[in-house]
A and B are shown apart, each in its own frame.
Chain A
């Protein structure tokens, strides 16, 4: 394994442990949502409206990890439904859905949103490639597939890019529903339609497994919960298929990744290409887990950050020509580049 990939794997595993089991490690940091010393005001459900902590064990949205160490929403699928001991509260989509329903005032949300934008601006979608526990799970599925000698299914480039419309769709539906059920007239639907995306999100079914807790994987009590259960199964099936037969295909559909992707062009992490060095070998495009091709096609000097790029830096790593592809941080060469230098490089 090459150095970048090796580093990435280590970071991924480290982040997985931290994000999923962080609450066990930093026990003393844990604070109840009421504590006023917290950095930001803890977001609370107004009286009368539904809050996820109120849901009973039988319901789909029963949170196995209710007490996060830090009340924040990082740009990756850090899930509310972690085992008890999750490090952060939830993912950003959860944040938006929940607060749209609660109709929280903007001034309470601003600190969270600012921090989120700052994090995205710094690393772009590197959160997806290096941090997200679900991305890591997916990479593990890919690893299994390779070891079993099952060839990858490469979807056509355009198909992959169009998959991101799924993400837009899911996000739009989730946010619309959340807004509607926040209105007083529709409040009675809250018990079924609260956090609609969470109900079908694969992370909700996968994350509790990390803590050896059985997720609430079925609820056939009413027709709405049955529909949600079936949808969740379909999405989970798609998720596994997408990782097992393709590479990171799910990440084209993920709505949280989609939000990150808006920050990719212009993020602090920049990918540069010098086409005069390129020998058009296609290694970069072939190795890209997101199936992107711009770094192969580009024939002008410059930055090739793309929306769908998860900044895994695999393209930089496999390029056989030194200096052809490179990573910079705000225009500056990364100092540890000697560490990243390929054994075979010139």
Chain B
């Protein structure tokens, strides 16, 4: 199995690029600002953990840590091997600039900032990084990270048709599972898989409750808190997260605040801490983000693992269905599903409009914009697409556009 990609040239790459600069992230000040807006006292722990994580002080459990990208990598397999999974994603301008050294040019800012973080020793604790071949930059990322870390490349393919591909996915996931077992010397099987799925299903249940609750009452857990919880779930121990999230939900249930702002749905690029510009602007424009359809939130949490055959291969197959067939990843062939989801969510939750958010330089999100726009126009759903980068220069302009959008929605209401 090929897991070292730049074996021969890795040293040269490292030599050229390890200019460790001491980068001071401004995550702390942003965290402080967001936590001050929180209405929920129990959110503190989430904010605290994120601060630790961003500053490298986070206390991982005493087990090997496996980093992975995207929802296409089955977290349950990592959990079943008694490893600590950490989902990676980064949208921070600072790290993007650091990553410029490795990836100059017009490339996806997410991949750039991830490289920036890795090459600046932010993820030293990791034993293995799993990279899926979801999009082109991710595929190359597997090679770019290999001088630093052991990398496993998991390519699910881009066709998410169940009938054609279920067997292939099962095989690929099984290979990955076998690799993990061998690499970390564990003998996990059916029982471990079942208990891992139980944990993630518990998380799904809590997430669904929060998601449903927010569609009715988006202010009780505001969108900052919501995305902070999502981001914390990337690296926190899943059981601790479940407990905390459940408590936050219970506390939020008690607030009786009625949301008067127009409620909108946010689709498109995932919102990752600290790039909360878009939700900040949405709030300032007097809109309430009541639902979202993004890979980190809805795509990752909404479907439970549905184990039909509780044999080992059956569970692995069920995981592949959840993570690939049901995926809303824009890299795969599933545009109609995405449009259906948006239309259905708008009518089901009585939402007033849809914002399609697109991080500049990500082509897959960009390409689908026109189709979504036309489809929603036909259904008479207000739609606005926003394309922006990680910088803060266009905040004012975005705000004006969204305010106009709100006025349009309000005039429709009357």
Closest residue of A by beta carbon distance from B215? A346
Instruction: Kindly identify which residue among A154, A276, A280 contacts B326, using a CB–CB cutoff of 8 Å.
Output: A280
Residues A150 and B311 in contact in the complex (CB < 8 Å), given A280-B160, A283-B321: yes
| Interface: B40 (CB within 8 A) | no
Determine if A282 and B166 form an interchain contact, defined as CB atoms under 8 angstroms apart. yes
| Interface: B410 (CB within 8 A) | no
Q: How far is the CB of B164 from chain A (nearest CB, A)?
A: 10
Instruction: Kindly identify which residue among B205, B314, B340 contacts A344, using a CB–CB cutoff of 8 Å.
Output: B205
| Interface: B344 (CB within 8 A) | yes
Determine if A296 and B162 form an interchain contact, defined as CB atoms under 8 angstroms apart. yes
Interface-facing stretch out of A51-59, A165-173, A285-293, A333-341 = A285-293
Determine if A344 and B162 form an interchain contact, defined as CB atoms under 8 angstroms apart. no
A287 to B163, CA, bound (A): 13
Determine if A278 and B340 form an interchain contact, defined as CB atoms under 8 angstroms apart. yes
A154 to B162, CA, bound (A): 14
Q: How far is the CB of A68 from chain B (nearest CB, A)?
A: 37
| Interface: A224 (CB within 8 A) | no
Closest residue of A by beta carbon distance from B205? A344
Determine if A152 and B326 form an interchain contact, defined as CB atoms under 8 angstroms apart. no
| Interface: A279 (CB within 8 A) | yes
A281 to B160, CA, bound (A): 9
Determine if A320 and B302 form an interchain contact, defined as CB atoms under 8 angstroms apart. yes
| Interface: B44 (CB within 8 A) | no
Residues A281 and B326 in contact in the complex (CB < 8 Å), given A151-B311, A286-B317, A320-B306: yes
Instruction: Kindly identify which residue among B190, B212, B304, B317 contacts A149, using a CB–CB cutoff of 8 Å.
Output: B190
Instruction: Kindly identify which residue among B161, B190, B321, B328 contacts A286, using a CB–CB cutoff of 8 Å.
Output: B321
| Interface: B4 (CB within 8 A) | no
Give the residues in chain B near A293, CB-CB below 8 Å. Answer: 163
> Which of B205, B309, B344 is most buried by chain A, counting CB atoms within 10 A of its CB?
B309
A275 to B334, CA, bound (A): 14
Closest residue of B by beta carbon distance from A145? B311
Determine if B166 and A344 form an interchain contact, defined as CB atoms under 8 angstroms apart. no
Closest residue of A by beta carbon distance from B326? A281
| Interface: A27 (CB within 8 A) | no
A279 to B340, CA, bound (A): 8
How many residues in A have their beta carbons less than 8 Å from beta carbons of B? 29
A343 to B204, CA, bound (A): 11
Instruction: Kindly identify which residue among A145, A152, A285, A343 contacts B162, using a CB–CB cutoff of 8 Å.
Output: A285
Determine if A151 and B314 form an interchain contact, defined as CB atoms under 8 angstroms apart. yes
Give the residues in chain B near A318, CB-CB below 8 Å. Answer: 306, 308
Determine if B334 and A280 form an interchain contact, defined as CB atoms under 8 angstroms apart. yes
| Interface: A146 (CB within 8 A) | yes
Q: Which of B173-210 touch A at CB < 8 Å?
A: 189-190, 201, 204-205, 208
> Which of A157, A286, A314 is most buried by chain B, counting CB atoms within 10 A of its CB?
A286
A314 to B208, CA, bound (A): 22
A152 to B311, CA, bound (A): 8
Determine if A286 and B337 form an interchain contact, defined as CB atoms under 8 angstroms apart. no
> Which of A279, A283, A285, A344 is most buried by chain B, counting CB atoms within 10 A of its CB?
A279
Q: Mark A208-236, 1 if CB is under 8 A from B, else 0.
A: 00000000000000000000000000000
A149 to B311, CA, bound (A): 5
Residues A286 and B311 in contact in the complex (CB < 8 Å), given A276-B344, A278-B340, A280-B162: no
Q: How far is the CB of B187 from chain A (nearest CB, A)?
A: 14
Residues A282 and B162 in contact in the complex (CB < 8 Å), given A151-B313, A152-B314: yes
| Interface: A44 (CB within 8 A) | no
A98 to B164, CA, bound (A): 46
A280 to B322, CA, bound (A): 10
A145 to B314, CA, bound (A): 12
Give the residues in chain A near B331, CB-CB below 8 Å. Answer: none
Q: Which of A262-318 touch B at CB < 8 Å?
A: 275-283, 285-287, 293, 296-297, 314, 318
Closest residue of B by beta carbon distance from A322? B348
Determine if A282 and B321 form an interchain contact, defined as CB atoms under 8 angstroms apart. yes
> Which of B167, B201, B204, B302 is most buried by chain A, counting CB atoms within 10 A of its CB?
B302
Q: Mark A145-187, 1 if CB is under 8 A from B, else 0.
A: 1100111101001000000000000000000000000000000
Q: How far is the CB of A161 from chain B (nearest CB, A)?
A: 14
Closest residue of B by beta carbon distance from A281? B326
A234 to B322, CA, bound (A): 39
Determine if A344 and B304 form an interchain contact, defined as CB atoms under 8 angstroms apart. yes
Q: How far is the CB of B204 from chain A (nearest CB, A)?
A: 6
Closest residue of A by beta carbon distance from B308? A287
A145 to B318, CA, bound (A): 18
Residues A276 and B340 in contact in the complex (CB < 8 Å), given A152-B311, A283-B306, A286-B321: yes
| Interface: B280 (CB within 8 A) | no
| Interface: B385 (CB within 8 A) | no
Give the residues in chain B near A344, CB-CB below 8 Å. Answer: 201, 204-205, 208, 304
> Which of A150, A152, A282, A346 is most buried by chain B, counting CB atoms within 10 A of its CB?
A282
A-B CB contact pairs (8 Å), 20 listed: A145-B311, A146-B309, A151-B311, A151-B313, A151-B314, A152-B309, A154-B167, A276-B340, A276-B344, A278-B337, A279-B326, A279-B341, A280-B334, A281-B162, A281-B322, A314-B308, A318-B306, A320-B304, A344-B201, A344-B304
Using a CB–CB cutoff of 8 Å, the interface residues on chain A facing chain B are: 145-146, 149-152, 154, 157, 275-283, 285-287, 293, 296-297, 314, 318, 320, 343-344, 346
13 more contacts with CB within 8 A, not counting A150-B311, A276-B344, A320-B326, are A277-B340, A278-B340, A279-B337, A279-B341, A280-B162, A280-B325, A282-B325, A282-B326, A285-B162, A285-B163, A286-B166, A293-B163, A297-B163
Using a CB–CB cutoff of 8 Å, the interface residues on chain B facing chain A are: 160-163, 166-167, 189-190, 201, 204-205, 208, 212, 302-304, 306, 308-314, 317-318, 321-322, 325-326, 328, 334, 337, 340-341, 343-344
Closest 4 CB pairs of A and B: A282-B162, A281-B326, A287-B308, A151-B313
